[in-house]
Amino acid sequence: MADNTEILNGFNKIINLIDAARQNAIRKVNEELIMLYWNVGQYISDEMKKSAWGDAYIDEIAKHISENCPEIKGFNRRGLYRMKQFYETYNGNEFVTPMVT
């Protein structure tokens, strides 16, 4: 039978595998969120250039989301404006744009 140290090392290896998987999952979720914010920001930015609504366009999107999907959080006027700002700030940046896309 293996001694206590070998058993504990094996158990710790499992813990390390779990921790590594958790870190990978967090990284993937963050990547998806960044892509979501980038894509929403790009869409809003492009639409606002075509629209005569100006900032009211963001207000209408936020209102539509809150009325039709109240469970979705973070897509209020402030959040949407920040997504637009994020896209417009880093769009065309030779270092950031390729990493996001």
Q: Could you give the angle at the alpha carbon of 62 between the alpha carbons of 59 and 68, nearest 5°?
A: 135
- The pLDDT of residue 73: 92
pLDDT digits (tens, 9 = 90+) for 66-92: 999 999 999 999 999 999 999 999 998
Does residue 65 sit within a domain?
Answer: yes
Does residue 12 sit within a domain?
Answer: no
Give percent of the chain with pLDDT exceeding 90. 70
Which structural domain range is residue 58 located in?
Answer: 31-100
> Token pair of 10, please?
């094996």
The number of residues making up the chain comes to 101
- The pLDDT of residue 101: 58
Does residue 81 sit within a domain?
Answer: yes
- The pLDDT of residue 50: 85
- The answer to whether 68 and 6 are in contact (CB under 8 A) is no
1 pLDDT above the threshold of 60: no
- The answer to whether 100 and 90 are in contact (CB under 8 A) is yes
52 pLDDT above the threshold of 80: no
